[in-house]
């Protein structure tokens, strides 16, 4: 049962009718006292609460009521109702524990979507049937692209399993290279939206001038280079999921534009006055400290609470070292398949070394190190010395001058060519395919480096 708390009789009547048509039981009260009396003896499944109950518009009554009802119904989600100009008030409510906020006049579809999300998450928090081990998770969910079975990773996947089939917005945080995009894809693949598009947008690479065209599309002739209509990313993601990567890089002008779309999922393409509606699940990611950015006034609080209904933090690789052997073998197998190499294994000492490294670049750094070692060494069994050589080479390249770096790259190219030819027993055609170049190009490089292979 859903409790409506609003002093406007028209609002109470409209919401009651909307909820009943959607199959929900609804009760309505007109003031804070009646709301407190109600929750003292009945626990609703959700509350829709206005923020003002008098001529005053500061919302103090609404905030006080929010705190009081949470005493009697601490697990009941509360959705606040406020005017667009009072979003700062709604943000205060979110800080005090409200689930979400909607603005007047509300969009019925978006309101019902928020209600269903809140009820779904409430049901999931009560449900104890989500598996707690990696093997059990893999029998029920699609996590095939995520490697590891550490406790930290398993807890993350359990959370993904719990919230994937809801419409809740998700914010994925963590250092660069920890696998935020893979988690976003896992959320999509295990949701009821999986048959529709998963649209990725790198907001860090979008300038302010291109933001609207890229995100919302444009009509032909809307600006100088608009030679044809263009569909925006939100429209591409309709009925699916949009992944907003590096959201902390978005400038404040674009933050406002994004907030309005996330509020009611309605937008207008550039050059058009006809609004378009979409049904999109929003997953965002950042390696920035958004809390500090809000303090510094460089990231909007209202946008933060709109994207941060569920937060998933990914630990650094050094915090889940037991996953390193599995990841190393996975990356090795991938490069073996891509290049048609023979099987490659790691010595005990090599694996121990890999497990001990600091990995400031996280999983991405491990992947590059493994792939580079296999390509350069050309060996079927990697030992610790092979890894150390690549670590040293990488360090020298990073520290060296541009001239020395150029020499190192030539040495790297020569060694890669030699290994590819050796790997294919002198078959130049196969070696060229492995290297991704033509046979004549390979012959020219062999001549350059004085390579003459004799089987």
**Could you tell me the CATH number of the domain that includes residue 429?**
1.10.8.60
Domain encompassing residue 52: 2-126
**Could you tell me the CATH number of the domain that includes residue 66?**
3.40.50.2300
Cα–Cα distance for residue pair 97/60, rounded to 1 Å: 15
Average pLDDT over residues 64-73: 92
| Residue 190 lies inside a defined structural domain of this protein | yes
- Are 362 and 311 within one domain? no
- Are 80 and 213 within one domain? no
| Residue 410 lies inside a defined structural domain of this protein | yes
Q: Model confidence at 374, in pLDDT bands (50, 70, 90)?
A: very high
- Are 86 and 161 within one domain? no
- Report the domain count for the chain: 3
Q: Which residue has the higher pLDDT, 438 or 350?
A: 350
pLDDT at 26 exceeding the cut of 50: yes
Cα–Cα distance for residue pair 166/192, rounded to 1 Å: 8
| Residue 454 lies inside a defined structural domain of this protein | no
pLDDT for res 391: 80
**Could you tell me the CATH number of the domain that includes residue 306?**
3.40.50.300
Domain boundary among 287, 315, 343: 315
For the ranges 70-84, 92-106, 121-135, 204-218, which has the lowest average pLDDT? 121-135
DSSP-assigned states of every residue in 237-306: TTTSEEEEETGGG--HHHHHHHHHHHHHSEE--BT--S-EE---EEEEEESS-HHHHHHTTSS-HHHHHH
pLDDT above 90 covers what percent of the chain? 56
- Are 176 and 277 within one domain? yes
pLDDT at 454 exceeding the cut of 70: no
Could you read off the pLDDT of 285-328 as tens digits, one per residue? 999 999 999 999 999 998 999 999 899 999 999 999 999 999 99
| Residue 305 lies inside a defined structural domain of this protein | yes
pLDDT at 85 exceeding the cut of 60: no
pLDDT for res 243: 97
pLDDT for res 124: 63
Crossing angle of the two packed helices 402-423 and 428-435, in degrees rounded to 10: 140
- Are 168 and 306 within one domain? yes
pLDDT for res 102: 85
| Residue 65 lies inside a defined structural domain of this protein | yes
| Residue 455 lies inside a defined structural domain of this protein | no
Question: Are 420 and 434 spatial neighbours (Cβ–Cβ below 8 Å)?
Answer: yes
Q: What is the DSSP letter of 59?
A: -
Domain boundary among 126, 156, 171: 126
- Are 274 and 359 within one domain? no
DSSP-assigned states of every residue in 11-32: HHHHHHHHHHHTT--EEEESSH
Alpha helices in 279-347 (DSSP H): 290-295, 301-307, 324-339
Could you read off the pLDDT of 207-231 as tens digits, one per residue? 887 898 999 998 888 777 778 888 9
Average pLDDT over residues 9-15: 93
Could you read off the pLDDT of 168-192 as tens digits, one per residue? 999 999 999 999 999 999 999 999 9
Mean pLDDT over all residues of the chain? 87
pLDDT at 259 exceeding the cut of 80: yes
pLDDT at 237 exceeding the cut of 90: yes
pLDDT for res 402: 42
| Burial class (CB within 10 angstroms; exposed 0-12, middle 13-18, buried 19+) of 307 | buried
pLDDT for res 16: 95
- Are 356 and 434 within one domain? yes
- Are 310 and 370 within one domain? no
Average pLDDT over residues 322-339: 94
pLDDT at 399 exceeding the cut of 70: no
- Are 407 and 445 within one domain? yes
Longest dimension (CA), the chain: 93
- Are 188 and 241 within one domain? yes
- Are 327 and 309 within one domain? no
pLDDT above 70 covers what percent of the chain? 92
pLDDT at 401 exceeding the cut of 50: no
Q: What tokens appear for 79 in the block?
A: 């959705």
- Are 80 and 147 within one domain? no
pLDDT at 437 exceeding the cut of 80: no
179: alpha, beta or left, given left = phi > 0 and alpha = psi -120 to 50?
Answer: left
Cα–Cα distance for residue pair 225/69, rounded to 1 Å: 55
For the ranges 32-41, 115-124, 138-147, which has the lowest average pLDDT? 115-124
Domain boundary among 69, 101, 126: 126
Q: Chain centroid to CA 25: how far?
A: 35
């Amino acid at each position: 049962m859903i409790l409506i708390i609003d002093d406007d009789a028209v609002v109470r009547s409209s919401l009651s009718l909307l909820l009943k048509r959607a199959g929900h039981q609804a009760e309505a009260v007109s003031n804070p006292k009646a709301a407190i009396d109600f929750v003292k003896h009945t626990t609703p499944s959700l509350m829709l609460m206005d923020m003002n109950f008098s001529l005053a518009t500061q919302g103090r009554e609404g905030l006080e009521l929010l705190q009081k009802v949470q005493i009697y119904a601490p697990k009941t989600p509360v959705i606040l109702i406020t005017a667009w100009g009072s979003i700062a008030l709604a943000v205060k409510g979110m800080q005090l524990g409200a689930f979400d906020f909607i603005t007047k006049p509300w969009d019925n579809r978006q309101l019902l979507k928020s209600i269903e999300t809140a009820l779904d998450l409430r049901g999931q928090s009560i449900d104890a049937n989500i598996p707690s081990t990696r093997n059990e998770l893999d029998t029920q969910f699609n996590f095939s692209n995520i490697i590891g079975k550490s406790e930290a990773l398993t807890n993350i996947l359990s959370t993904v399993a719990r919230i994937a089939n809801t419409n809740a917005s998700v914010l994925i945080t963590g250092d660069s290279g920890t696998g935020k995009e893979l988690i976003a894809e896992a959320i999509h693949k295990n949701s009821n939206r999986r048959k529709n598009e998963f649209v990725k947008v790198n907001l860090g690479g979008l300038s302010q001038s291109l933001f609207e065209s890229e995100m919302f599309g444009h009509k032909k002739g809307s600006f100088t280079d608009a030679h044809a209509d263009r569909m925006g990313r939100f429209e591409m993601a309709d009925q699916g999921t949009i992944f907003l990567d590096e959201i902390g890089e978005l400038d404040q002008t674009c933050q406002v534009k994004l907030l309005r779309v996330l509020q009611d999922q309605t937008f207008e393409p550039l050059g058009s006055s006809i609004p378009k509606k979409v049904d999109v699940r929003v997953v965002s990611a950042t390696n920035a400290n958004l809390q500090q950015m809000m303090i510094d006034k460089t990231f909007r609080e209202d946008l933060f609470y709109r994207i941060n209904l569920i937060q998933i933090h990914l630990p650094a690789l050094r915090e889940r070292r037991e996953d390193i052997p599995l990841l190393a073998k996975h990356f090795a197998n991938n490069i073996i398949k891509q290049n048609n190499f023979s099987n490659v294994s790691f010595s005990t000492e090599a694996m121990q070394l890999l497990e001990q490294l600091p990995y400031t670049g996280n999983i991405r750094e491990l992947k590059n190190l493994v792939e580079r070692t296999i390509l350069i060494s050309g060996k079927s069994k990697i030992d610790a010395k092979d890894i150390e050589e690549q670590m040293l080479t990488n360090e020298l390249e990073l520290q060296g001058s541009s001239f020395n770096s150029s020499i190192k790259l030539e040495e790297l190219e020569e060694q890669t060519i030699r290994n590819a030819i050796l790997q294919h027993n002198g078959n130049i055609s196969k070696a060229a395919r492995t290297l991704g170049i033509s046979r004549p190009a390979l012959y020219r490089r062999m001549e350059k480096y004085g390579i003459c292979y004799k089987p």
